[in-house]
Amino acid sequence: MRTPLPLAFLLLAGTAAPALAQTAQPAPASPLPDIVVTGRGIAEVDPRSDAIAILDRDRLTRTASNRLEDALADIAGIQSFRRADSRSANPTSQGITLRGIGGNASSRALLILDGVPQADPFAGWVAFPAYAPSRLGQVRVQRGGGSALWGSGALSGVIEMTSATPDQLSPLTADIFYGERNAVDAQGSASLVRDNGFASFTAGYARGDGFVPIVAEDRGAADRPAPYEQFNASARTVIAIAPNTELQATVQGFTDRRERGQAFTGIESDGADASVRLVGRGRWGWSALGYVQTRRFASSFASIAADRSASTQTLDQYNTPATGLGARFEIAPPLGERLAVRLGGDVRETSGETRERYTFVNALPTRRRVAGGTTRTLGGFVDLKATLGDLRIDANGRLDGWWIEDGRLFEATLATGATLTDTRFADRSGTEPTGRFGLAYAVAAPLTVRAAVYRGWRLPTPNELYRPFRAGADATAANAELAPETLEGVEAGIDFAFDDRFTLAATVFANRLNDAIANVTVAAGPGTFPGVGFVSAAGFYRRRDNLDSIESRGVEIDGRARLGGFTLGLSYAYADATVTAGPLAPALDGLRPAQVPAHQAAGTIGWAKDGFVASTALRYVSEQFEDDQNSRSLGDALTLDAVLAVPVAQGLAIEGRAENLFDARVETGFSGTALERARPRQLWIGVRAALD
């Protein structure tokens, strides 16, 4: 793979350092000395009855892979649909979820950055290559229903990313690493901080020749390494436009090129986002946000011969343009120390369509397909937090209206243009009430007990409603009649905090996901099936449908300790999840959701002193089923990552990193009967430089 403009962009940022250093001279005294610019939203009351876990900036920027999804793995229970990361996975398998309620391409947990939803507008997955960890200041994970504040999508929780604040930014940083399989990982940043504002720029580039996804004993001539090349950049400006008001503007973009390890499996993904937020920090806190997301996705699919001797193209999804538009307003009136209220509302529209060529004959497509539509939500919420002595009360409620419109499926022959299908699906609309009520009681100075009940919801994406797809030999039909998912949950827990040196939290929960959208197995190939066409003998025909429910009960434990220069972290999640499919697929009743492990655990140890940094991360995921019928299982995996940085000069360090140091097998799926792996050992060596 070539290394063109993106790497040159990073080098250009480095050559700009002298100019930046000349610009960043001490500024004259500010005429507004009382202004404090943070780049954050309006001040929030500290977490009360929520199950909260936090990743700080040090941990975000010191993982072995230097990738966001690796940092998120420190919090047990967060998972993508498959175990592979964003270097080798198909992006369509990277919807994120929590608490074992299962998933597919679409996320059942809401990922936001500075108040802006980050999921793909068309399909709901997360484009992880879009984020350089160095641009982030903190990640705050709220497990459990969060829809009352955030609306559709926050079924199992909210993963809230915030950009770095001025005190976390260095004037200039540059990191570059070289690794096995001809891999390069580079990131750079520049920032300018003034009394009345700041500006920052971050860029990242990654590429590698990749590993062979199919395990050695199952490979054939068709299998080869899966290369990748990815680039991201972001620019952010925050300025005070009045003594108590700041303007925040962000633009970001990314490109992503991958292959899945066979011919005709190339993937392209591009995106560009922009947002503007006004934040008032006076006696009345308020914020007003507007944003736009644009995406383009392309992917090719192949059928592999039974002996894996050759691959044949079966689908060319040559373009999937999508757009997300949204706005949000909230206000926090001054009501005293014992009572805090936030009121607000938001609107979000997502639209997109897939454009595909399919039914290949003699290596050429014979038909084309266009499928897509628009979804829209409009909602308002009230959030109340009250303190009555040692008792703290959280109560919020929300009402959303939703619309599914302009759904269309068009298919035609390429040779003659004759129409095969031209279906316009009926527009639909409805309302969804959501809410949360929680109590927290301070038993003693270090100990708090808490409990909460909640209801959340999620609207199907245009991808789920209208787009059929293939994964290897399997084919899945869309379903324009899918109903929204709703979740009802209850939880109870304890929090123990001794200053900031030691924290421990434990939570038990029970969640029920109603009308769970799943890829339901209907039949085995060979055969010709509605909505997808021919499926070979090596594949299965599936259809998206609403199951009756998925129930998940479990336990979560999170601990953190600081001992001198050492930092220790522990996270464990257990989820006992079962499916109730109802008359749709009674054979699935009592089975586990696909790709949901019962146990997940992560432990980290870090040490830092005088520029020396060392850390390890031990992670475990238990056995899980690859499919909804629980017929194929993926083994458990225990991996160890390590990082060691040694300072060699002021602001300069040499760093070695090891992912999956002992090369444990991480099984992620099947291609026909062949087993696919992920995250093999990857060793890195490089340098980090920072101008402070």
Q: In this structure, what token pair is assigned to residue 150?
A: 């955030």
The single-letter code of the amino acid at 425 is: F
How far CA 86 is from CA of 220, 467, 578, in Å, comes to 24, 22, 28
Tell me what pLDDT residue 525 has: 84
pLDDT at 4 over 50: no
pLDDT: is 619 or 533 the higher one?
A: 619
**In the predicted structure, residue 7 carries a pLDDT above the cut 50:** no
The tally of CA atoms less than 13 A away on the side-chain side of residue 213 is: 26
Element (DSSP H or E) covering residue 10: helix 5-15
Over residues 611-621, mean pLDDT: 96
pLDDT digits (tens, 9 = 90+) for 350-364: 999 999 998 899 999
What are the two backbone dihedrals, phi and then psi, of residue 183, each rounded to the nearest 5 degrees? -95, 145
Is residue 450 predicted with pLDDT exceeding 90? Answer: yes
195 has pLDDT over 90 = no
pLDDT of amino acid 35: 60
Name residues whose C-beta falls within 8 Å of residue 495's C-beta, 6 or more positions apart in sequence. 447, 448, 449, 450, 503, 504, 505
Which CA distances in Å does 559 have to 53, 74, 611, 622?
Answer: 9, 11, 26, 21
What was the pLDDT predicted at 639? Answer: 97
Residue 267: strand pairing partners: 258, 299
Closest to 680 in 3D by CA, of 75, 65, 91, 224: 65
| 370 vs 451: CA distance, rounded Å | 48
Strands 652-659, 637-649: pairing kind: antiparallel
Integer Rg of the chain from CA: 25
Centre a 10 Å sphere on the Cβ of residue 420 and count the other Cβ atoms it contains. Answer: 12
pLDDT band at 564 (very low <50, low <70, confident <90, very high): confident
**Beta strands 157-163 and 110-113: pairing type?**
parallel
Q: 366-383, pLDDT tens digit by residue?
A: 999 999 999 999 999 999
pLDDT at 189 over 80: yes
Q: What is the pLDDT of residues 306-336, one digit of tens each?
A: 899 999 998 899 999 999 999 999 999 999 8
> Which residues make Cβ contacts (< 8 Å) with residue 365, sequence separation at least 6?
316, 357, 358, 359, 414
Query: What is the overall mean pLDDT for the chain?
Result: 90
pLDDT of residue 524: 84
Burial 40-68 (b: 16+ CB within 10 A, else e): bbbeeeeebbbbbbebebebbbbbbbbbb
Question: What mean pLDDT is predicted for residues 604-610?
Answer: 94
Q: Among 576, 588, 597, which residue's Cα sits nearest to residue 547?
A: 588
H or E element at residue 54: strand 51-56
Whether residue 647 contacts residue 611, with contact meaning beta carbons closer than 8 Å, is answered with yes
Q: What is the pLDDT of residue 19?
A: 33
The pLDDT, as a whole number, for residue 6 is 40
The residues, ordered by sequence, that sit 6+ positions from 353 with a Cβ below 8 Å of its Cβ are 122, 320, 321, 322, 370, 371, 372, 373, 408, 462, 466
The pLDDT, as a whole number, for residue 520 is 84
- Give the rounded distance of the alpha carbon of 331 from its chain centre: 28
- Per-residue pLDDT, averaged over 489-504, amounts to 91
Distance CA 683, CA 656 (A): 8
DSSP 163: E
Three-state SS at 25: coil
Tell me what pLDDT residue 373 has.
96
Check whether 689 has a pLDDT greater than 90. yes
Residue 650 scores a pLDDT above 50: yes
Amino acid symbol at 597: P
Model pTM score = 0.91
Count Cα atoms within 13 angstroms, Cβ side, for 414: 13
How would residue 22 be classed by pLDDT, with cut points 50, 70 and 90? very low
Average pLDDT over residues 3-25: 36
Q: 515-545 pLDDT, tens per residue?
A: 999 888 888 888 888 877 778 787 888 889 9
Q: How does residue 445 score in pLDDT terms, banded at 50, 70 and 90? A: confident
> Which strand (E) or helix (H) includes residue 263?
none
CA distance 692 to 687: 16
Taking the C-alpha atoms of residue 318 and residue 57, their distance in angstroms, rounded to an integer, is 38
Q: What is the pLDDT of residue 531?
A: 76
Sign, CA torsion 79/513/574/510: positive
DSSP at 59: H
The predicted structure's pLDDT at residue 440: 95
According to the 3-state scheme, what is the secondary structure of 327-360? EEEEEECCCCCCEEEEEEEEEEEEEEEEEEEEEE
List, in order, residues 6 or more apart from 117 with CB less than 8 Å away. Answer: 110, 111, 150, 153, 324, 326, 348
pLDDT at residue 47, as a whole number? 56
Q: CA geometry: angle at 207 spanning 206 and 208, to 5°? A: 140
DSSP summary character for residue 269? E
Structure letter (DSSP) for residue 12: H
pLDDT exceeds 80 at position 244 = yes
Would you say the C-alpha torsion 74, 80, 81, 85 has a positive or negative sign? negative
- 642, 603 in Cβ contact below 8 A? no
pLDDT, position 77? 92
Confidence at 18, pLDDT banded by 50, 70, 90? very low
Cβ count near 256 (within 10 Å): 23
pLDDT band at 25 (very low <50, low <70, confident <90, very high): very low
* Other residues' Cβ atoms within 10 Å of the Cβ of residue 364: 11
Residue 9 has pLDDT above 80, yes or no: no
Residue 397 above 80 pLDDT? yes
> pLDDT over 90 for what percent of the chain?
75
pLDDT in tens, 48-86: 788 899 999 999 999 999 999 999 999 999 999 889 999
Nearest to 116 by CA among 147, 150, 66: 150
DSSP class per residue in 492-530: EEEEEEETTTEEEEEEEEEEEEEEEEEEEEEEESSEEET
